[in-house]
Amino acid sequence: MAQLERKKIVNKGRVKFVSRNIYRQSLINLFTRIAKHSSNLDVQRIVARLRMSNNSRHPVDLKRLASEHEKSEGKILVVVSKVLDDETLFSIPKMKVVCLDISKTAKAKIEKFGGEVYTLDCLFEVSSELKDICLVKGDMTARKCYKYFGACGIKGSKTYPKSGNKGKNREKRIFK
C-alpha cells in the first residue's frame, strides 16, 4: 500500500544547479566541496546564497557596506551578490570586501579610500580560518515588484495598486 502512495509523489525541486555562467558554477563546486569537509557555518551559508536565483540575491550598495563595517570593525565583508555604488556617499571607511561581482564605480571608490576588493574565489587567500568575516545581505524589498505586495487601500499603506489598465481614469496610487 505504501508503495502505491509513494508513486504519486513527485519531487519538483531542482536538484542540480543550472547556469550558463561557468565562473559561478565553478564557485559552487568549490564551496560545496569545502562545505562537505568542514563544519564552518559561514561556508554553508555562502553555498546556499550562491545557489539562489538572481532575484533572491539582492544587490548591496556602499552605504549598507559602510554601516556594516562600523558594526564589525576589522572584519572582512563578504557579499554573495553584486556591490553597487552609492552616489550620496562622498567618503567611506577603509574596508576589505569580498564579493561575487562589483560595479566599476564602486570598486574605484573603495580603492580610492584605501580599501581592497577581492572576488569570492580569493576568500581563503584573504582569511584562511574564516573567523574574521561578516556576511552581508542586500535589502529584500528593494525591488519594484515588492511594492505591490500587501493591501493598497488601507490608510498609511505604501503599497502600489496592481492594475493592468494604465489609462486616464484607471486605478492609480493615492498618496495619503
Residues 75 and 95 grouped into a single domain = yes
Domain-embedded: residue 34? no
Domain-embedded: residue 154? yes
Contacts of 141 (CB under 8 A, 6+ apart): none
Residues 133 and 149 grouped into a single domain = no
Domain-embedded: residue 3? no
Residues 114 and 148 grouped into a single domain = no
Check pLDDT > 80 for residue 5.
no
Amino acid occupying residue 43: V
Check pLDDT > 50 for residue 1.
no
Domain-embedded: residue 162? yes
Based on its alpha-carbon atoms, the radius of gyration of the chain, rounded to whole angstroms, reads 21
Check pLDDT > 50 for residue 108.
yes
Paired with 97 in beta bridges are: 77, 117
Check pLDDT > 80 for residue 29.
yes
Residues 92 and 161 grouped into a single domain = no
Residues 135 and 169 grouped into a single domain = no
What was the pLDDT predicted at 80? 95
> What are 108's three cell numbers?
574605484
Rounded Cα distance between 113 and 76, Å, is 16
Residues 108 and 147 grouped into a single domain = no
Residues 89 and 162 grouped into a single domain = no
Rounded Cα distance between 108 and 88, Å, is 15
Grid-cell match 532575484, residue found: 55
Quote the pTM value. Answer: 0.79
**CATH classification at residue 51:** 3.100.10.10
Distances (CA, A) of 48 to 95, 121, 157: 25, 16, 33
Residues 52 and 94 grouped into a single domain = yes
Check pLDDT > 70 for residue 12.
no
pLDDT tens digits for range 119-175: 999 999 999 888 899 999 998 888 888 888 888 878 888 888 877 777 777 766 665
Domain that holds residue 164: 143-175
What is the tally of structural domains in the chain? 2
Domain-embedded: residue 83? yes
Q: What would the 3-class secondary structure string for the chain be?
A: CHHHHHHHCCCCCCCCCCCCCHHHHHHHHHHHHHHHHCCCHHHHHHHHHHCCCCCCCCCEEHHHHHHHHHHCCCCEEEEEEEEECCCCCCCCCCCEEEEEEECHHHHHHHHHCCCEEEEHHHHHHHCCCCCCEEEECCCCCCCHHHHHCCCCCCCCCCCCCCCCCCCCCCCCCCCC
Under the banding of pLDDT at 50, 70 and 90, the label for residue 53 is confident
Residues 50 and 108 grouped into a single domain = yes
Grid-cell match 508503495, residue found: 3
Residues 44 and 124 grouped into a single domain = yes
